[in-house]
Structure 1
């Protein structure tokens, strides 16, 4: 399959690109910004699918430009491309559901998380309003020496030991995309492992003693998602069902 990919130098994209190629796909990447319409049109010429992994995440001052307007432009320009896979985040879900989030829940990102989830939710809607697509809402991605695992302690260090973080390994991100492409799937899919990791386990995985909890009141379901839909529809089964299993396998 010929694939046009954005975000190939990011944390997700840089680990996804070689795996897509190992799967036998012919992948071309965008080396300029999404605002470069001519380059985007050239990228899309003659491809079978788009994998949109580009995003403004941390230090960018152009969250709207990249995550919303750039995404909408890409969706519009790819109207003749048969498949479109949009990489999003489980942070688009609201707090207070009292259960794991499912794909039919409305978006409502917690303002405390800032512009990233807010604009990712808007970007999702921009795609779905424009064309048929598969939207993958990823849990907290880790593995392959990604510094995300260490960075999780920036906030988890204040959590009670039993508060949980839902995660997904880079291997399973690639697996999910392969299943979507193979099935020609459309719609929204939560992509996560089977067993969210606790704050205590995050410390142990980072080789550190548990922190002293500061945050006592928390929603035990915040950030936890159901993967029943992707498992039933696409047969997705995480290769690493938990961060602990990934640690044992030596792929953190």
Structure 2
């Protein structure tokens, strides 16, 4: 957004950020500080999450209650345009016999993080219907990019997955352009968009490209994924058709070749 010349205010938990933009310091659990930070704002791109802590209470306080409070505070301040970053993991455990679409029901037995995202989506849709929130939801894949510790962190998160399991991915640059497209588009209030690059890769290939060695897991190597070949894959037909999204990095391999890891 800064590179595009968008006037931007960052709402952050601390001010040790060296960027040429307006900085507001607040925790999403501090309603008074959040409301103060919204003065003069015309739209919100909400990417905050208690992603790494994964504490049930922190997810409830930040991802669910904090998101709902932010949206209500925005509406009270006359701000209606609200882009929310959710996750493709809301489809976790579901197998639709094809890539998941935005109209498919989400999983009912989700673990903490996607469960919190699914509940936040539900509450935001209620505000869209009852208070006119101009909501745009973008469901992110496994995100990676230059220097992102997310990839290293994921070794423990996918420890029980077979190395030949495919996973949808998206580079930082493509997440950025997708959120900008969702922000700028007209007439899409209430719409949800899956985001992914063009070709899911196996966990083994993704970690190999990042120079990360997966632990040996003989039991998972024998696990077949052929019975559920569409697991963890999503359709991006809607975001391509309605927002004109095309990935700058169609695969993790293309990002590696471009030196963008």
Same fold (TM over 0.5): yes
Contact 1:91 1:109 in 2 (8 A): no
Superposed displacement of residue 166, structure 1: 0.6
Determine the C-alpha separation between the residues in 2 that align with 1:235 and 1:40.
33
Residue 155 of structure 2 is aligned to residue 153 of structure 1: yes
Q: Residue 91 of structure 2: which of 90, 93, 98 is its match?
A: 93
**Map of 2:101 onto structure 1:** 102
- Unaligned 5+ residue runs, structure 1? 1-19
Residue 241 of structure 2 is aligned to residue 227 of structure 1: no
CA deviations over 1:173-193 (Å, ceiling 9, x no partner):
110011112213331001111
Superposed displacement of residue 209, structure 1: 5.9
Which has the higher Rg, Structure 1 or Structure 2? 2
Superposed displacement of residue 153, structure 1: 2.9
Within 5 Å, which residues of 2 pair with 1:18-97?
Answer: 20-30=1-11, 31-59=25-53, 60=55, 61-79=57-75, 80-94=78-92, 95-97=94-96
Contact 1:88 1:120 in 2 (8 A): yes
Superposed displacement of residue 104, structure 1: 0.6
Q: Residue 112 of structure 2: which of 99, 110, 115 is its match?
A: 115
Contact 1:91 1:117 in 2 (8 A): yes
Moved more, 240-249 or 180-189: 180-189
Determine the C-alpha separation between the residues in 1 that align with 2:204 and 2:151.
13
Determine the C-alpha separation between the residues in 1 that align with 2:118 and 2:219.
30
Count of matched residue pairs? 231
**Map of 1:14 onto structure 2:** none
TM-score by length of 1: 0.84
Moved more, 148-157 or 59-68: 148-157
TM-score by length of 2: 0.82
**Map of 2:121 onto structure 1:** 124
Determine the C-alpha separation between the residues in 1 that align with 2:30 and 2:106.
29
Superposed displacement of residue 29, structure 1: 2.2
CA deviations over 1:183-205 (Å, ceiling 9, x no partner):
13331001111111112312421
Q: Secondary structure at the match of 1:229?
A: helix
Determine the C-alpha separation between the residues in 1 that align with 2:143 and 2:161.
19
Q: Residue 185 of structure 2: which of 183, 191, 196 is its match?
A: 183
**Map of 1:196 onto structure 2:** 200
Please tell me the root mean square deviation across aligned C-alpha atoms, in Å.
Answer: 1.9
Contact 2:151 2:207 in 1 (8 A): no
Q: Secondary structure at the match of 1:62?
A: helix
Q: Secondary structure at the match of 2:2?
A: helix
